Amino acid sequence: MSAVKGFFRIYNGFEKWTMIVMMMVMVVVIFAQVFTRYVMGAALYWSEELGKFIFVWVSWLGVSAGIHTKEHIQVKLLPDSFGKKGKWRREKINYIIVDIFWFLTSLFVLYYGSQIVFNQMGTGVYGASTGIPMWIAYMSIPFSALVVCIRLVAEIALYSIQAITGVKRDEWEEVI
C-alpha cells in the first residue's frame, strides 16, 4: 500500500507543479501578446493559439486536481443533495455511488477522447500559427480522463473501506 501512497504523493506534486508552470507560461505568453499588440503595434502571431492549447490542458488537468482537493462541483454538490449530513456511513455510500457514475463517464470520455486523438494523428493537422500537431491539444482529454479514473478507483476503494470499517479519518484521504 505504501507504493500506492508514494505514487499519489509523487503524482500530486507533479500535477500541482505542472499546472503552476503551465499557468505561468500562459500568463507570460498572453501578456507578451497584449504588450506587443497594444504597445509595440505588432502582434505575436503564435501566442493566441499557444495560450489556448495551454488553457485546454490546464482546464482538463484541473478536473483531477479538483478531485484531489475535494473542490470539484461533483464532490460538493451531488453527494450533498443525495443525503442529509450527519449520517456518516450514508455519506460515504453516496460518495461511492456518485464516484462510480463519474468513473463510468470518465471511461466513456477516455474511450472517445482516444478515438479523437487517433483520428487527429491520422489527419496530420497542425495548428495554423504554432505548427503544433492538433492531436497534442486533444490528448489532454484522454490523459485527464485516465488520471480521473485512477483517482476515482482509489477514492472508491478508500470510501468503501471507511464505510465498512467505520474509520472516519484516514491518512489516505490527504494523499488521494
- Return averaged pLDDT per consecutive 10 residues of the chain, 176 residues in all: 77 90 95 92 89 92 83 64 61 82 95 95 90 92 93 85 72 59
Give the pLDDT confidence score for residue 78 in this predicted structure: 60
Give the pLDDT confidence score for residue 146 in this predicted structure: 94
- d(C-alpha 58, C-alpha 129), whole Å: 20
Give the pLDDT confidence score for residue 57 in this predicted structure: 92
Give the angle subtended at the CA of 113 by the CAs of 110 and 114, to the nearest 5°. 80
Cell of 140: 489532454
Give residue limits of the domains in the chain. Answer: 2-167
- d(C-alpha 2, C-alpha 16), whole Å: 21
Cell of 158: 478508500
Give the pLDDT confidence score for residue 174 in this predicted structure: 60
